[in-house]
Each structure stands twice: as structure tokens, then as C-alpha cells.
Amino acid sequence: MSEILARVEHRDDIALIVVDNPPVNALSQAVREGLNRAVVEIAADESVKGAVLVCAGRTFIAGADIKEFGKGPLEPSLPDTIATMETLQKPIVAALHGTALGGGLEVALGCHYRVIDRGGQVGLPEVTLGIIPGAGGTQRLPRLTGIEQAIELITSGKRIGAEKALAFGIADKVVDGDLTAAAIAFLKEKLSAGEAVVPVSARPVGKVDQTRIGEQIAKVTKKARGQLSPVKAAESVANTATLSFADGMARERAIFEELVASDQSKALRYAFFAERAVSKVPGLEDAEAKEVRTVGIVGAGTMGSGIAVAFADAGMRVIMSEMSGEAADAGRDRIDRIYADQVQRGRLTEDMTAERQMRITIAVGLEALAGADLVVEAVFEDLDVKKDLFARLDGILAPGAVLATNTSYLDIDAIAAATSRPDSVCGMHFFSPANVMKLLEVVRAAKTDDRTVKTALDLARRIGKVAVLSGVCDGFIGNRIWAAWRKQAEFLVEDGAYPEDIDAAVTAFGFPMGPFAVYDLSGLDIAWAQRKRHAATRDPAARYVEIPDRICELGRFGRKTGAGWYDYSGGGAPAPDPSIRQMIEAHRDEKGIVPQHFTAEDIQRRMRATMVNEGANILAEKIAHRPLDVDMVMLFGYGYPRWRGGPMFEADLVGLPQILEDVREMCAAGGHGFAPSPLLVELAESGKSFADWAEDK
Ligand code: T1G
């Protein structure tokens, strides 16, 4: 038996149950055992009139111990522990601070009252792990908040602050200062008022509006895009309208058991840990980061402005450099617009934006950056321009300052070579809009030293990004995989699918948007200009799909021009355009291609196989070091559904022989430069997975 992680202390006639399981007081078996014992002890002790449940350290219980999932039941179970707490005939007050999440909030709901520190938060994030609250959360929460609010909270998995918790009836009091003292005072008030001890499970469910519940479940289903847990969670909450507490609990348990064993939950748990592991790069444990107080940014265009906002939002001082007063003014306007938009969406108040805007200075000329500890370059994608700029920055910045480029495909080794400090040069590839998108690729060039990599990774963490380390190659991890898929998507169009078929299959897979809707949103003209630049050096034998060029020749550059692959004249969603259909068909005739029929599943299999195959090449070339690095790029930069874990994780679940078969089928259908990755072949044929490969390394 492991040590017991909940102890009982006495304050006159009040017992304190203290949970102490760092770092986040997760409900391991030892904590559950401790809670059970504490309740039994308090029940038997006649000198104790009531109890306060409080946690040591930075937070109240943050939930079940996710590492125990899938290890089979370890007694006592959490529902049993909470049921035991509810049988106590003496009141228990939960004293919440930090983040009372999941099973932690469920334990608090098993108490008779809840007081919360003003800075505390509560939430039931289980759906984000592919499960539903499994210890009464779906049955007790609606008894405090009403069904509608409970569906909202549980299906979103979002946390709410203390004041909201009070308004929703989850907390009974918001307190400041010494939490334990405040909870004891609250309990004493209740004891002297002689209030009856009523467990939450015995309270009635408020007003029930079945039509409204039906509407909510339909909305949740649509938003979940194939993810099961939010839908099941809503259904379980809705059960409180028709089932007794005991029956509702039994249903909740059954759904929980089913989901915890599902692939979706495995994938989401993997994503939870991978998201945290991704910035802990093996080999960099001893590296020391440079302290970054001031960040410089060269270029106040769309990317530069978004990057500046990302830093300012995290409380950092930013100095931007532009080439002229006019360009600086335009940059300032862009930043103002980003903040105005945030205010309009209700994300920030005017005061908050004013404070953030003041952290950003825009100057003319590079000299203003002299005091920066790290500079991010975000100018036009032209190698000579960047080389020249880096040489000049090298002369201006203090020795040891880090120089990062936001390039998405240029050779960072060549850029670094233009300076006298290639060891302090790296890539910091942001995704647009840079203040919103969570992904940041930190690119290590041949001479980049550990200190520089660590500095960029730490900085990324400070501004709330998920940073993934990549090596230098065309497109790094994300754009390289995306480009491989984009090519296959165009081949599919030539071979018989329509853009809307592909987009529908991709969104049914769980992506927020299909590739053709994405192209239209980001604009077709830049890629067209790039194709024209590369036309002379293109391999004439390689398969080339001319349709995107034809579309651009019509002045259809996507949403911004009202038309692209789709028609936007209706104003709203992308509408399939008959003239594009005709163009595609004429093009097939011209090339003598007999169109085939592709089902949504064919399209999805090809997409996944393409991504996994390219991911395997990227791993073999050591551009990405771990399968989880590839997965996190695809999740946070490209909208790969989190409940699938990412292409590499999903490939392991599907089985690599199946993926290899899909790849070979595509090659047989006219691979056009597409060949099975040697690493994929090796693993599939030796019965290994990417996870095995990562472990063997
Ligand atoms: N189980 C195991 N380990 C956990 C954990 C958990 N629930 N939560 C955090 N950790 C580890 C984490 O991996 C990291 O480890 C360290 O703690 C610090 O975390 C029955 C079944 C609480 C808001 O989903 O949201 O209850 O990397 O870096 O930024 O219905 O952690 O240092 O080795 O994230 O201050 C529901 C998950 C579970 C909460 C703190 N609960 N945790 O954030 O630190 S399901 C959750 C968080 C459940 C019941 C069901 C955050 C945090 P390492 P951190 P942080």
C-alpha cells in the first residue's frame, strides 16, 4: 500500500481534511483512500461537528490521475469515495483555490458547501480527454446550476472563475485572504444557524425544458464534428430530467466506462501529455536560456503585427522596426485593428487593449532594435533581402542577442551564414494569425547552439504557444506535410473528385475546413506567383495540375476577390461553382483523364496516408525528432482533429500495414513522385509502430 495522501487535523471542534499530492493534487488511489479514511474517522469522532476539505500547494484537486487511466479499477473508486462523503451527517465545506477540475470539482460537489478563493477556477474538462465526468459530475452539477447551464459547462470543458461559480450556484461564497480560516468561519456560521445537512444528490433538479435540451444536444453534436464525448456528456446531463439520482449515476458510469476504453479517449490523453512533452526536448535539459526582456520585430506587416501582439499580450515589451514612417503608421493601424477586433468579440476591454498597445513601439530603421535580447524578422520572403537584413542586424545587436527568422520555407543556414553569429540564429515560424494560432515551429539550423534553441522554446512557452522543434527543410514539418497533401488533393480533382467532395470528406474527418476552402481563405495569388517563379526549374516529367493557374488567370484569388475554387457572391459560405466544375471537366478531357468515383472514405484514407508517409520521411531525416512532434504540429497548426491524436498516433492505432497498403494503392494509381517512406515500410514489415520506434531510439 502506498502512503496515504490525505490527513486529518483538528481545529477545536472542526476537522480539517488536508489533501497533499503535488504538483496538482491529482486523485490517485492514495488520495481516494485517504479521503475515505478521513470521513470514517470524522464520522466516528463525536468531538467533531463539521469538516473543511482543503488542499496543500498551488491548487485544489485538479482531477483524477490521468496516468492511472486504463490500468483497471483501483479501490476505492471515486464515485464510492464521494458517496461515502455524502453519507456523513456532519457538514463538509470544500475550500477551493487554484483549479478545481474534473474529479476535483466532483469531490467538491460531494461536499455540502463550497467556498472559493477569489482567484480560483472550477471546471469539468473531462470531454477534452474523450470521457465524461465519471464521479457524479453530470448528475450533481445540474442540481446546482440547472440542466441548461450544466450542459454548457460540461460539454465545453471550460473553466469559470469564482464570481461566475457563485452566480451559477456552484460556490456558496467567494472569499479573500486566508482560505482555510474563511472556510472554517463559513462552516461555523452554518453550524450555529443549525441548517440541515443536505447532500447535493438529494436536491431537486430545477425547471426542465425538453425542447431546449433537444436543441442544445443538436448544437453540441454539430460542434463536436465527430468527437463523441461532448454529445455523450450532454445526454448524461439530460438524464437528470427523467431518471432518479441512482439510475442517472449508473448511466453516467456506463458511458464513462465505454468512453475511457475508446480510441478517441486514448488519443486525447496522448494529446494532453504530448502537448506538455513537446517543449521538453531530449538533450536540452542542461541548456541555459538567455533571459529575454525586450523583443524586437523587423517588419510590421500582417505577420509582424500579429507576432507583436502575441508578445504584448504576454506582458512583454516589443520594439518594431519598419523602413518608413508610412509603413510604421500602417503597422500601427494593423495592430489597432487586431485589438479593436478583440474588443468587438468581447475578449478584451478597452482598458486592457490600451495597456497592451502601449507595450509596442514602432520605429523607423533598425537602430531602434539595438537593445533587444531577441529579434524576430518578419519581412518579405526573399533570401537576398533576409541575408542583407541579418548582416545588418548582426552589426547592430549586442553580442549574444538571438536572431530569429519567421521564414516559412527559406534556407535558414544560408541566412545564418550572413552573420558573424550563426550559433545565435534560428527560425521562429509563427502561423497566421500569429496572435491566435498556438503553434510555433522553432527551427534549428546547422550551427544553432543549444542556448539559442532553449531561448526560443522558453520564450514560446511564455507567450502561451505550443513550440515544436524542427530541422531545416523546405516547409519545415507542417508546410511540408501540408504541401504533400495539397498535391494529392489536386491529383484527386484531376482524377475525378470535385473540390466540394474533398472538402466535405475532410471536414467529416474532423478538420474545421477542407483544403480548398482554406486556399480560398488565404488567397491563391501568392502561391501562383511562386509557381510562376519556379516554372523554369520545374521537372517537366513531374505531374503538374494546371487548374489552380487557370483559376488565377480569371482573377479569382479566393474569398477576397469574391471567387476562387468556390463562389462567394452570396456573401457567406463557399458555394460550389458550376463554371469551375466545367473547367475541371474540360481540363480532364484535354488530358484524356477518365474520371473515377472517390468516396469520402477513399479521400480520407489518401489524406491520412499522405500525411503519415511524409511524417515518416520527416522523422527518418531527423527534421522532427519524435512522432509526437509531428502530431503536435498537425494538431495546433492545421486543425488535425485532436480526438484522433495526430497522424502518427492515429497511424499506430489503425496499424502501419494498413497505412502502407493505402500508400501503395496511391502509388499504383499513378503515384507521381509519391513513394512509400522507407521508415514506414521498415516498421510496417517488422510489426512495429511509430511509438515503438520512438522508444527504441
Ligand atoms: N493527472 C496526472 N498528471 C497531471 C494531471 C492529472 N489530472 N494534471 C496535471 N498533471 C501533471 C502534468 O502532466 C504536469 O506534469 C504537471 O502535472 C503540471 O501540470 C473521474 C476521470 C491543473 C490546470 O483534465 O488542466 O477527473 O509535465 O504543466 O500549467 O470525472 O495541468 O510536470 O511531468 O499542466 O499549472 C480532469 C488536467 C481529469 C486537469 C495545471 N482534470 N490538468 O496547469 O501545470 S479526468 C484535468 C490541467 C477526471 C473524473 C475524471 C493542468 C492544470 P509534468 P501543468 P499548469
Residue 568 near residue 562 (C-beta atoms within 8 A):
yes
Q: Is 78 touching ligand 1 by the criterion CB < 6 Å?
A: yes
Q: Is 63 touching ligand 1 by the criterion CB < 6 Å?
A: yes
> Catalytic annotation on 500?
no
Taking CA atoms only, the protein residue closest to ligand 1 atom 54 is 276
**Active-site residue, selected from the candidate residues 33, 86, 106, 614:** 106
Of ligand 1's listed atoms, the one at least distance from the Cα of 128 is 24
Strand 294-298 to strand 159-161: parallel, antiparallel, or no bridges (unpaired)?
Answer: unpaired
| Cell numbers describing residue 461 | 512557452
User: What confidence tens digit (pLDDT) does each residue in 112-124 have?
Assistant: 999 999 999 999 9
Residue in 29, 61, 66 to alter for ligand 1 test, most ligand atoms within 8 A of Cβ: 66
| Cell numbers describing residue 437 | 494560432
For 77, 499, 582, the CA distances from 577, given in Å and listed in that order, are: 57, 10, 9
116 forms bridges with which residues in the sheet?
96, 174
CA of 669 to the centre of ligand 1 (A): 46
Q: Is 252 touching ligand 1 by the criterion CB < 6 Å?
A: no
Residue 455: CB partners within 8 Å, gap ≥ 6?
289, 290, 292, 374, 402
Taking CA atoms only, the protein residue closest to ligand 1 atom 25 is 62
User: How confident is the model at residue 522, as a pLDDT?
Assistant: 86
Cα angle 87-91-97, degrees, rounded to a multiple of 5: 110
Residue type at position 361: T
What gap in Å lies between CA 29 and CA 4, rounded to an integer?
9
174 forms bridges with which residues in the sheet?
116
Residue 334 near residue 300 (C-beta atoms within 8 A):
yes
| Cell numbers describing residue 239 | 438524464
CA of 64 to the centre of ligand 1 (A): 8
What gap in Å lies between CA 203 and CA 191, rounded to an integer?
20
Residue 372 near residue 398 (C-beta atoms within 8 A):
no
Burial of 103 (0-12, 13-18, 19+ CB in 10 A): buried
What gap in Å lies between CA 367 and CA 321, rounded to an integer?
8
CA of 127 to the centre of ligand 1 (A): 14
CA of 66 to the centre of ligand 1 (A): 7
User: How confident is the model at residue 1, as a pLDDT?
Assistant: 43
Residue in 19, 24, 31, 269 to alter for ligand 1 test, most ligand atoms within 8 A of Cβ: 24
What gap in Å lies between CA 136 and CA 207, rounded to an integer?
20
For 180, 377, 436, 482, 680, the CA distances from 479, given in Å and listed in that order, are: 52, 19, 18, 5, 20
What does 541-585 look like in DSSP terms, one character per residue?
Answer: TS----HHHHHHHTT--BGGGTBSSSB-TTSSS-B--HHHHHHHH
Describe the chain by its helix, strand, coil percentages, rounded to 5.
55, 15, 35
CA of 16 to the centre of ligand 1 (A): 24
Count of Cβ atoms closer than 10 Å to residue 316 Cβ: 18
Q: Which uninterrupted H or E stretch holds 386?
A: helix 383-396
Residue type at position 100: A
User: What confidence tens digit (pLDDT) does each residue in 612-621 have?
Assistant: 999 999 999 9
Residue 516's φ and ψ, nearest 5 degrees, are -75, -35
Q: Is 66 touching ligand 1 by the criterion CB < 6 Å?
A: yes
Residue 201: CB partners within 8 Å, gap ≥ 6?
86, 136, 139, 140, 143, 245
Q: Is 120 touching ligand 1 by the criterion CB < 6 Å?
A: no
Sheet containing 374-377: give its strands across. Answer: 360-364, 317-322, 294-298, 374-377, 402-405, 425-430, 439-444, 466-471
| Spans of the chain below 50 pLDDT | 1
Strand 121-123 to strand 99-101: parallel, antiparallel, or no bridges (unpaired)?
Answer: parallel
Taking CA atoms only, the protein residue closest to ligand 1 atom 13 is 273
| Cell numbers describing residue 380 | 518579405
What does 342-382 look like in DSSP terms, one character per residue?
Answer: HHHTTSS-HHHHHHHHHTEEEEESGGGGTT-SEEEE---S-
Q: Is 102 touching ligand 1 by the criterion CB < 6 Å?
A: yes
Count of Cβ atoms closer than 10 Å to residue 367 Cβ: 10
Residue 348 near residue 339 (C-beta atoms within 8 A):
yes
Residue with cell 542586424: 393
Looking at residue 162, the DSSP 8-state letter turns out to be H
What gap in Å lies between CA 108 and CA 115, rounded to an integer?
10
Looking at residue 558, the DSSP 8-state letter turns out to be B
| Cell numbers describing residue 293 | 526582456
CA of 238 to the centre of ligand 1 (A): 27
Q: Is 126 touching ligand 1 by the criterion CB < 6 Å?
A: yes
CA of 24 to the centre of ligand 1 (A): 7
- State the helix-helix crossing angle for 229-238 and 263-277, rounded to 10 degrees: 120
Residue 212 near residue 84 (C-beta atoms within 8 A):
no
Q: Is 134 touching ligand 1 by the criterion CB < 6 Å?
A: yes
CA of 631 to the centre of ligand 1 (A): 20
CA of 25 to the centre of ligand 1 (A): 9
Residue 488's φ and ψ, nearest 5 degrees, are -65, -35
Residue 518: CB partners within 8 Å, gap ≥ 6?
none
Which structural domains are found in the chain, ordered by start?
A: 6-261 (3.90.226.10), 294-472 (3.40.50.720), 479-696 (1.10.1040.50)
User: How confident is the model at residue 543, as a pLDDT?
Assistant: 86
Residue with cell 463523441: 228
| Cell numbers describing residue 684 | 510496417
> Catalytic annotation on 126?
yes
Of ligand 1's listed atoms, the one at least distance from the Cα of 101 is 41
Q: Is 106 touching ligand 1 by the criterion CB < 6 Å?
A: yes
**Active-site residue, selected from the candidate residues 86, 126, 148, 490:** 126
Of ligand 1's listed atoms, the one at least distance from the Cα of 63 is 26
Sheet containing 99-101: give its strands across. Answer: 99-101, 121-123, 159-161
Q: Is 379 touching ligand 1 by the criterion CB < 6 Å?
A: no
State the pTM of this model: 0.93
Nearest to 644, CA basis, from 506, 540, 459, 488:
506
| Cell numbers describing residue 613 | 508517409
What gap in Å lies between CA 121 and CA 99, rounded to an integer?
5
Q: Is 238 touching ligand 1 by the criterion CB < 6 Å?
A: no
